[in-house]
Structure 1
């Protein structure tokens, strides 16, 4: 089949799919409340009436929250999340997902150690401030010639970082309760 004809067929299929999506099944019923509970639009209704704070990060909500430190915008405990970011701040951040609770750093070479580099992945698990609420995996590579090769990391390294995160989270929580 010539290329122009394939493109034309592809475009025709795309247009028919779009027109099919606009069928009568998707037309709104008259008098139906789009913002009813369970419709997925109740948050929009809250924003329209001023009863919703929107996305809340790090406990900046205008409404009272529970003692978990989670706020309403994070999927994980806000104290553990902030403490993990603070603890891993010496490493460049590759990505952070506050809803899934995953923080991934980029490779970091300590000053004076140009032949080795480290990377960390932190998992904040849950909305409660608990001692098992954070897990950190540390990865290490050493340079062999022009290549980086995976190397062993002392098992205590991840545990030490977790302990530092927990200590910082407790500090943040005590600061938060002192200002209430």
Structure 2
């Protein structure tokens, strides 16, 4: 299947997966996610009513996310994904839809190539198939930057790194809650 078709299918699947309900995962405040706030019952409302078609968190999706707020995706996968791609400039991060898009990054030891990542968190459970990474690569030529194939194992290696970090965060969180 051509990459454009796969990306289009992934976009449609993520759009449908972003349909939310009033359920979610509560997260603590952090520097990356902002100060705490309480979600109000009307935040997941749409023009179709409370049980209708809702994407993300509704009209208030740009408010800060903090303690008492609800993520649309698994909190451990979200945090691990942010940690994993933190060395790259992040263009957008949507904790309700579970999408992280980076800008182009050029490693200091390879100035003739650059990479861009799209990270998709696919659900609320911490599962091995709960995260997908798309890797884009460009090389610099005479006419500027040109698309080039990314290493075939790079996306799966990043997914494995994210999953490992998410499991570590979960274990650390369980240990801290047991100690209290």
TM-score range, shorter chain: 0.5 to 0.7
Work out which of the residue numbers 59, 69, 83 in structure 1 matches 2:80. Answer: 83
- CA deviations 1:30-83 (Å, max 9, x no partner) are xxxxxxxxxxxx726xxxxxxxxx98847x33xxxxxxxxxx511000000000
Query: Which residue of structure 2 aligns with residue 8 of structure 1?
Result: none
Query: Which residue of structure 2 aligns with residue 43 of structure 1?
Result: 41
The change in CA–CA distance for 1:131 and 1:158 in structure 2 (over 3 A counts) is same
- Residues 1:99 and 2:96 aligned together: yes
Based on CA coordinates, which of the two structures has the bigger radius of gyration? 1
Tell me the distance in 2 between the aligned counterparts of 1:153 and 1:93: 19
Residue 155 of structure 1 aligns to a residue whose secondary structure is coil
* Greater relative CO, 1 or 2 (CA 8 Å, sep 6+): 2
Is the Cα–Cα contact under 8 Å of residues 56 and 74 in structure 1 kept in the other structure? no
Work out which of the residue numbers 149, 162, 165 in structure 2 matches 1:165. Answer: 162
Tell me the distance in 2 between the aligned counterparts of 1:149 and 1:84: 27
1:146 to partner: Cα distance: 4.0
RMSD: 1.9
The change in CA–CA distance for 1:56 and 1:127 in structure 2 (over 3 A counts) is farther
Q: TM-score, normalised by structure 2?
A: 0.62
Equivalences for residues 115-130 of structure 1 within 5 A:
115-130=112-127
Tell me the distance in 2 between the aligned counterparts of 1:56 and 1:76: 16
Q: TM-score, normalised by structure 1?
A: 0.62
The change in CA–CA distance for 1:56 and 1:112 in structure 2 (over 3 A counts) is closer
Tell me the distance in 2 between the aligned counterparts of 1:102 and 1:146: 32
